[in-house]
Amino acid sequence: MDITDARFLKSSPHPKDCPTPNKPEFAFIGRSNVGKSSLLNMLCQRKSLAKISGTPGKTRLINHYIINNQWYLVDLPGYGYAKLPKTEREKFTKMINSYLIDRPNLSTLFVLVDSRHAPLKQDLNFIQNLGKNNIPFSIVFTKTDKLKPLQLENNIKVYKERLLLDWEILPPIFYTSVVTKSGREEILHYIQEINKL
């Protein structure tokens, strides 16, 4: 898939404020500082489409981008940012859950996971809740260039084995690096195939 046009459309404080659900929607989420904005920019080949911040937890709104005037790319607030007050964390959790469960045109959710870490409870709990609510999702391992090939292979193996304790089959899995641009074609092809349906 070629992305010829990628534009910021709208930031929404609540799912009810999101754009009219008249196009397929592909959302991206992950723990704070997982490299979400960098990945979105890499996918669209735009340096500053999604704002990158050195401060974790910067995304506080549901950000919609219109791609090729055909589908929406959605940047969701990160989860698990401990420095936010509990009330703020609960507010974001409620907002994200409301979006995921009630958004009728959500085609799939990409859950970003830092490939350098062992399975984290927050990620596993989040993925578990997706299954309980029948939300279609894929897993995207980020920052794969930060590890040596054998170390990366071992980390992925451990993660898959942990997931298989709770799941009969694994969801689609992608391996990405914004440095080497790996994973870009695979994710865009996957989006293209879903759009054909």
Helices and strands counted in the chain (H then E): 5, 7
Q: What is the pLDDT of residue 59?
A: 63
Please report the domains of the chain, with CATH numbers, ordered by start residue: 6-196 (3.40.50.300)
Bridge partners, residue 110, by sequence = 28, 138
Helix (H, G, I), strand (E, B) or coil at 123: helix
Q: What is the pLDDT of residue 168?
A: 94
DSSP 8-state class, residue 79: B
pLDDT in tens, 6-31: 999 999 999 999 999 999 999 999 99
pTM, entire model: 0.94
| 106 token code pair | 């959500």
Q: What is the pLDDT of residue 89?
A: 76
DSSP 8-state class, residue 31: B
| 72 token code pair | 């929406």
| Residue 142: count of CB within 10 angstroms of its CB | 23
Q: What is the pLDDT of residue 152?
A: 97
pLDDT in tens, 27-75: 999 998 899 999 999 999 998 898 765 554 456 899 999 999 999 999 9
pLDDT in tens, 128-137: 999 999 999 9
* Cα-based angle 86, 122, 50 (whole degrees, multiple of 5): 80
144-164 burial, b at 16+ Cβ within 10 Å, e below that, comes to beebeeeebeebbeebeeebe
Sorting pLDDT into bands at 50, 70 and 90, what band is 81? low
| 135 token code pair | 């939300």
